[in-house]
């Protein structure tokens, strides 16, 4: 005998019932099939709404009632040939009349007791089983439909009644042996008490009906047919890359379901486990998929962690007080108070100091728990030996499940490290001594992220997904997106990184797509994006709460630089070519560095100095490996280099500056370059990264620009440069006279920083520097005489973008 159960989605439409029929017909004729059906998908919810509205005196309930009737009548008409519809139709109409009568009663009395609700909910399964039985009959299948209420006996706990197995097993066995049909059809979920009053087994309880029947007849197997291809490593509605668990033990399946894997109703496993009946979870819509086998022994070398699950609506209760220390019986009284109220405890933790005990319960019981516990400890609370019960709401539990975790140390370490890296705060932890599950209580808002982080950690070792938010899509940002696009495949294959650009934004708009923006076409989508401000952008990134988030700032905006702090504090990495934050006052710079460490994230700004050249990275490596910076000499302005390399007196200085601006080598306001301020900022950042506590006003600037050029508008700046051409010419002539080139040099010598124009002779390391190149010479304890030299293009969108790209990868691999 095989017991099969088809869930709500498997019987939602005529088409899906067609799949069910095929599956039944595909079974060997020699096997008897005991088949349990749920209500048509969504019906139970509708029935609850119906009862609730009637009880509220809302006569709209009649609309729902007629919808339910219409859906079932239509289904009969679609499934069964016209000549044979009669009995099924009249059965549905009789059931709907009965339901209508009950609802009228509820409407008049304005009262919906749990007992009446069970009666109302029972119609879903009664109708679906009747229809499918008629369909099988019309196909000539030798079948019989029985009302499960006559077989399954429960107590009076309406809405989630407990089964009386002794009576139930006896009745099922008798019924199955008295009736010889090859297919027996049962409505799931419904049962009755000893007085034949209808009860139900709890939401999702049709699985349980099937398990009860399977255990009673010692079936050879139980098959749970649903809308997914088995039990998955996580809830497929939360995680994209879930995998089917092909083989799992009863214990593991039970833990997963208990902690929220909705695919099987938790009590289902117990009866089949005690009879060692194997359970298959199969997909009605893809019957050829293997599915999941649940049984007692799972082959060796099975995965250490089998799956993870989560469920919401948790409240944490904390009983605390000095009066609890060392006195036995406190926890007993706490649990007694809860159990007297029939409140189920989901998770328990007690610190070894015994100063407090913490339990997690279903949020619906919060108020009742509070008053029951405070009543139980009334005297101790009055004597201030125990605090009134504290409650924390809007929490969830996430659980990692696997029989083999006990023999593999370090699993919980990995679990909490992964959560920590993503800024997920843990409110409580429990690990049963059986070590089949490690669970943690977190806030509801973090669930999706947590489940994804853990899934990645334990099941997707092959790939890590990075979620990138890009602010600023001008020259540099545009190039970055182009480069990311071109490298996507390489990164997946070589570095196992899946870089998902989830948002692009400019100062006005944002375009977001959680599954990752198509990088070939972001411009058009951004056009259609929604309006945003910097604050909105920040709130948005935090609220999205995606794992492995990286914020990339390609702007030069002070406002954008302001949001780093809030992001870093949420463990969101910041990668930026914007110099404002790293060159702001020292306290701010140090604070950002400090929270980066505290929140275990990255704040990377390699492109602040020398664009894509590995200047800061090299300096960091020197420092980390114990070297010391003695002196830095550098040409850090691509602009000034360009200008002095091209200014030979044959055309005016102003013209050369204009060319640099037109070719995109200058800051939007070229005076920032010409004044040396931009170089000061870069030197400041290098000095700080080299360990010096420094602010910008401590850097000497021996500028060369006449004051008149530096006031007013950019136009005035060009005008004044023309006026002062002789000044520039004189500087050039003097250098030529001495056979030197002009370089704007930044230097840091024993902690003393300065920038300014210098005469560089042909023997000097800085002499041969062309175009917009930068060069940095590091003189250190290990490179005392011959410096470590980094040289190459120090400006331009392409190289800057590649520097940002490298930082994104660095952040991803933390």
* Residue with tokens 């604070």, as numbered in its chain: 591
Of 135, 303, 479, 682, catalytic:
682
- CB neighbour list of residue 143: distance below 8 Å, 6 or more residues apart: 133, 136, 137, 181, 182, 183, 184, 185
Strand 428-431: give its sheet, edge to edge. 345-350, 356-362, 307-320, 390-401, 437-443, 428-431
123 or 330: whose CB is closer to ligand ASP?
A: 123
> In angstroms, rounded to a whole number, what is the distance separating the alpha carbons of residues 748 and 757?
15
- CB neighbour list of residue 412: distance below 8 Å, 6 or more residues apart: 429, 431, 438
| Residue 682 is among the residues annotated as catalytic for this protein | yes
Q: Least CB distance from residue 126 to ligand ASP, whole Å?
A: 11
36 or 748: whose CB is closer to ligand ASP?
A: 36
Q: Least CB distance from residue 638 to ligand ADP, whole Å?
A: 55
Q: Are 464 and 496 in contact (CB under 8 A)?
A: yes
- Radius of gyration of the CA atoms of the chain, in A: 36
- CB neighbour list of residue 141: distance below 8 Å, 6 or more residues apart: 24, 25, 182, 183
Interaction of residue 7 with ligand ADP, rule CB under 6 A = yes
* Nearest residue relative to ligand ADP (C-beta): 7
228 or 338: whose CB is closer to ligand ASP?
A: 228
Count Cβ neighbours within 10 Å for each residue of 397-426 and write b for 16 or more, e otherwise. bbbbbbbbbeeeeebeeebeebbebbbbeb
> In angstroms, rounded to a whole number, what is the distance separating the alpha carbons of residues 555 and 560?
8
Interaction of residue 124 with ligand ADP, rule CB under 6 A = no
Inter-helix orientation angle 14-25/114-138, to 10° = 60
Of 176-235, which residues contact ligand ADP (CB under 6 A)?
Answer: 204, 226-228, 231-232, 234-235
Judged by phi (left if over 0) then psi (alpha if -120 to 50, else beta), residue 423 lies in: left
261 or 470: whose CB is closer to ligand ADP?
A: 261
Q: Least CB distance from residue 211 to ligand ADP, whole Å?
A: 13
3-class DSSP state for residue 257?
Answer: helix
* Nearest residue relative to Mg ion (C-beta): 204
> In angstroms, rounded to a whole number, what is the distance separating the alpha carbons of residues 705 and 727?
9
Interaction of residue 20 with ligand ADP, rule CB under 6 A = no
By CB under 6 A, name the one of 187, 204, 291, 803 that touches ligand ASP: 204
By CB under 6 A, name the one of 61, 107, 123, 189 that touches ligand ASP: 189
Which tokens is 40 given? 């048509």
Interaction of residue 35 with ligand ASP, rule CB under 6 A = no
Interaction of residue 267 with ligand ASP, rule CB under 6 A = no
Residue 470's φ and ψ, nearest 5 degrees, are -110, 120
Interaction of residue 8 with ligand ASP, rule CB under 6 A = yes
> In angstroms, rounded to a whole number, what is the distance separating the alpha carbons of residues 188 and 39?
8
Q: Least CB distance from residue 159 to ligand ASP, whole Å?
A: 10
Of 21-80, which residues contact ligand ADP (CB under 6 A)?
Answer: 38
How many C-alpha atoms does 379 have within 13 Å on its Cβ side? 3
Question: What is the pattern of x (binds ligand ADP, CB under 6 A) and - over residues 231-260?
Answer: xx-xxxx-----------------------
Q: Least CB distance from residue 475 to ligand ASP, whole Å?
A: 56
Element (H, E) at 743: strand 740-749
Q: Which of 145-153, 197-205, 630-638, 727-735 is the region at the interface with ligand ASP (rule: CB under 6 A)?
A: 197-205
Query: Which ranges in 139-180 belong to alpha helices (H)?
Result: 165-178
227 or 392: whose CB is closer to ligand ADP?
A: 227
Contact positions vs Mg ion (CB under 5 A): 7, 204
Interaction of residue 188 with ligand ASP, rule CB under 6 A = yes
Q: Applying CB under 6 A, what is the total number of residues that bind ligand ADP?
A: 20
Helices (H) then strands (E): counts for the chain: 28, 30
In the chain, what are the helix, strand and coil shares in percent, each to the nearest 5? 45, 20, 35
267 or 638: whose CB is closer to ligand ASP?
A: 267
CB burial of residue 811 (10 Å; 0-12, 13-18, 19+): buried
Q: Least CB distance from residue 204 to ligand ADP, whole Å?
A: 5
Interaction of residue 124 with ligand ASP, rule CB under 6 A = yes
188 binds, among ligand ASP, ligand ADP, Mg ion, none (CB under 5 to 8 A by kind): ligand ASP
Interaction of residue 203 with ligand ASP, rule CB under 6 A = yes
Q: Least CB distance from residue 47 to Mg ion, whole Å?
A: 16
Indicate the DSSP class of residue 181: -
449 or 579: whose CB is closer to ligand ADP?
A: 449
Interaction of residue 260 with ligand ASP, rule CB under 6 A = no
Which tokens is 277 given? 């009946």
- CB neighbour list of residue 599: distance below 8 Å, 6 or more residues apart: 423, 568, 569, 570, 571
231 binds, among Mg ion, ligand ASP, ligand ADP, none (CB under 5 to 8 A by kind): ligand ADP
Q: Which of 635, 623, 573 has its CA nearest to residue 603? A: 573
Of 293-332, which residues contact ligand ADP (CB under 6 A)?
Answer: 307, 309
124 binds, among ligand ADP, Mg ion, ligand ASP, none (CB under 5 to 8 A by kind): ligand ASP
228 binds, among ligand ADP, Mg ion, ligand ASP, none (CB under 5 to 8 A by kind): ligand ADP
CB burial of residue 90 (10 Å; 0-12, 13-18, 19+): exposed
202 or 756: whose CB is closer to ligand ASP?
A: 202
Interaction of residue 44 with ligand ASP, rule CB under 6 A = yes
Interaction of residue 262 with ligand ADP, rule CB under 6 A = yes
Residues forming contacts to ligand ASP in the complex (CB under 6 A) are 7-8, 38-39, 44, 124, 188-189, 203-207
Residues annotated as catalytic are 682
Question: Which parts of this chain interact with ligand ADP (CB under 6 A)?
Answer: 7-10, 38, 204, 226-228, 231-232, 234-237, 261-263, 307, 309
């Amino acid at each position: 005998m095989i017991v099969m159960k088809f869930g709500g989605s498997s019987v939602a439409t005529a088409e899906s019932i067609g799949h069910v029929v095929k599956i039944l017909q595909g079974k060997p004729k020699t096997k008897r099939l005991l088949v349990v059906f749920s209500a048509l998908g969504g019906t139970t919810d509708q029935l609850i709404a119906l009862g609730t509205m009637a009880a509220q005196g809302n006569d709209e309930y009649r609309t729902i009632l007629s919808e339910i009737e219409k859906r079932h009548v239509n289904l009969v008409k679609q499934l069964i040939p016209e000549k044979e519809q009669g009995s099924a139709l009249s059965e549905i109409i009789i059931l709907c009349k009965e339901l209508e009568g009950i609802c009228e009663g509820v409407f008049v009395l304005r009262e919906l007791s749990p007992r009446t609700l069970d009666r109302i909910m029972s119609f879903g399964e009664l109708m679906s089983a009747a229809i499918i039985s008629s369909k099988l009959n019309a196909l000539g299948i030798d079948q019989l439909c029985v009302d499960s209420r006559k077989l399954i006996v429960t107590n009076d706990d309406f809405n989630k009644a407990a089964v009386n197995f002794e009576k139930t097993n006896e009745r099922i066995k008798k019924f199955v042996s008295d009736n010889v049909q090859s297919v027996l059809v049962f409505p799931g979920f419904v049962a009755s008490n000893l007085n034949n009053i209808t009860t139900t087994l709890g939401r999702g309880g049709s699985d349980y009906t099937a398990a009860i029947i399977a255990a009673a007849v010692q079936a050879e197997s139980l098959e749970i047919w649903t809308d997914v291809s088995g039990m998955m490593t996580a809830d497929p509605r939360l995680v994209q890359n879930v995998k089917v668990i092909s083989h799992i033990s009863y214990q593991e399946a039970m833990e997963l379901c208990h902690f929220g894997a909705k695919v099987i109703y938790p009590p289902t496993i117990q009866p089949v486990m005690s009879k060692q009946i194997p359970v298959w979870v199969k997909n009605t819509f893809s019957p050829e998929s293997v599915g999941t086998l649940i049984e007692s022994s799972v082959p060796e070398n099975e995965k250490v962690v089998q799956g993870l699950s989560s469920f919401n609506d948790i409240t944490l209760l904390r009983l605390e007080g000095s009066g609890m220390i060392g006195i036995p019986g406190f926890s007993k009284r706490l649990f007694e108070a809860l159990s007297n109220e029939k409140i189920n405890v989901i998770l328990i933790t007690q610190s070894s100091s015994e100063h407090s005990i913490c339990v997690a319960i279903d949020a619906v019981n919060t108020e009742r728990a509070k008053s029951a516990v405070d009543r139980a400890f009334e005297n101790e609370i009055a004597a201030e030996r125990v605090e009134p019960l504290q409650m924390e709401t809007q929490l969830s539990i996430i659980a990692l499940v696997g029989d083999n975790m006990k023999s593999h140390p370090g699993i919980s370490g990995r679990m909490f490290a992964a959560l920590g890296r993503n800024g997920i705060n843990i409110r409580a932890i429990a690990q049963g001594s059986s070590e089949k599950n490690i669970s943690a209580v977190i806030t509801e808002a973090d669930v999706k992220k947590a489940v994804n982080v853990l899934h990645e950690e334990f099941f997707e070792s092959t790939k890590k997904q990075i979620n990138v938010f890009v602010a600023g899509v001008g020259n540099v940002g545009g190039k970055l997106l182009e480069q990311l696009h071109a490298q996507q495949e390489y990164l997946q294959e070589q570095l196992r990184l899946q870089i998902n650009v989830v948002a692009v934004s400019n100062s006005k708009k944002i375009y977001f797509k959680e599954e990752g923006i198509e990088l070939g076409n972001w411009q058009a989508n951004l056009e259609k994006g929604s309006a945003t401000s910097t604050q909105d952008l920040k709130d948005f990134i935090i609220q999205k709460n995606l794992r492995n988030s990286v914020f990339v700032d390609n702007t030069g905006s002070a406002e954008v630089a302001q949001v780093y702090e809030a992001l870093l504090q949420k463990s969101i990495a910041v990668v930026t070519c914007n110099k404002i934050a790293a060159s702001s006052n020292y306290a701010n710079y140090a604070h950002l560095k400090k929270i980066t460490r505290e929140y275990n994230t990255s704040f990377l700004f390699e492109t602040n100095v020398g664009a894509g050249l590995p200047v800061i990275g090299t300096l960091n490596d020197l420092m980390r490996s114990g070297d010391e910076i003695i002196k830095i000499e550098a040409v850090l302005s691509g602009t000034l280099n360009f200008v002095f390399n091209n200014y030979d007196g044959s055309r005016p200085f102003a013209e050369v500056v204009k060319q640099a601006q037109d070719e995109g080598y200058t800051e939007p306001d070229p005076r920032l370059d010409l004044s040396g301020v931009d170089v000061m900022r870069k030197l400041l950042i290098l000095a700080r990264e080299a360990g010096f506590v420094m602010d910008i006003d401590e850097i000497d600037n021996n500028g060369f620009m006449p004051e008149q050029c530096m006031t007013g508008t950019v136009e005035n700046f060009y005008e004044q440069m023309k006026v002062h051409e002789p000044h520039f010419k004189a500087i050039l002539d003097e250098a030529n006279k001495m056979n030197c080139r002009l370089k704007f040099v930044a230097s840091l010598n024993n902690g003393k920083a300065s920038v300014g124009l210098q005469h560089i002779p042909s023997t000097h390391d800085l002499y041969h520097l062309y175009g917009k190149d930068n060069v940095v010479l590091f003189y250190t304890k290990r490179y005392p005489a011959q410096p470590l030299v980094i040289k190459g293009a120090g400006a331009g969108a392409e190289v800057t973008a590649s520097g940002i790209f490298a930082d994104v990868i660095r952040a991803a691999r933390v």
